Structures are given as structure tokens and as C-alpha cells.
Amino acid sequence: MKLFIQLFFVLLFCKTAVAQSSVKTATLKVPGICGDCKERIENAADIKGVKKCTWNKETKIATVIYDEKKTSVAKIEKAIAAAGYNTEHEKGNEAAYKKLPQCCQYNDPSNQTH
């Protein structure tokens, strides 16, 4: 019985260690201006494998928790770029950018004071 209990805990520990090792956190520089940008960026990053994305308006940093077995930073950046937002490695889709509300067009000099 003692051996069974020890074996149970060893197996439990191994399963937990394997499951946690594929969850990663990445930070991505993503320009944006307002709360609407925050919502769009976080929604764009909500792809299969992403556990959570939080974009900070002041720092312009998106913190993404994701399962590396299901997605990658490159795929997350492509999803954000498809919504019109630049990332460090992907240029935002121009057509999507032009569809953003005027207040969210971060390349517009008149919006740089936000």
C-alpha cells in the first residue's frame, strides 16, 4: 500500500510537470491608443492556444499566456496584425488599419497626444 501511494504521487507530480511546461508567457510591443484598441488587440490575440492576453495602454505591451503546443508567438503576432495593429515582427494589415476608428489609428500624428 505504501508503494502504491508513493507511485501515485510520483505519477501525479510527473503529469503536473509535463502539463505546465507547455504554458509560456510572452510580451509583445503593440501600438495602440485607447480602451477600444485594448479590446481589439486582446480579442485579436484570442486564438486557439492562447489562455489570456492583456494589453497595457500606457506601456503598449501585450502580455500573452499561451500553450506552445497549440500556438506560437508568430501566430499570435499574425492574428494581431490581421486586426490592423503592428507588432515587433509583423506589420499590421493596411486594410484592417484603415477600418479602425479614427481615434484608434495610431500612425495618425493627431492621435499622438493620447
Tell me the pLDDT tens digit for each residue of 37-56. Answer: 999 999 999 999 999 999 99
Q: How far, in Å, CA of 11 to CA of 9, rounded?
A: 5
pLDDT tens-digit readout, 51-101? 999 999 999 999 999 999 999 999 999 999 999 999 999 999 999 999 999
pLDDT, residue 11, reads 54
Is the domain defined by 22-108 classed in CATH 3.30.70.100?
yes
Predicted TM-score of the model (pTM) = 0.79
Burial of 15 (0-12, 13-18, 19+ CB in 10 A): exposed
Residue in 53, 46, 45 with CA at minimum distance from that of residue 90:
45
Mean pLDDT, residues 27-45? 97
State which amino acid sits at residue 67: D
Where in the chain are the domains?
22-108
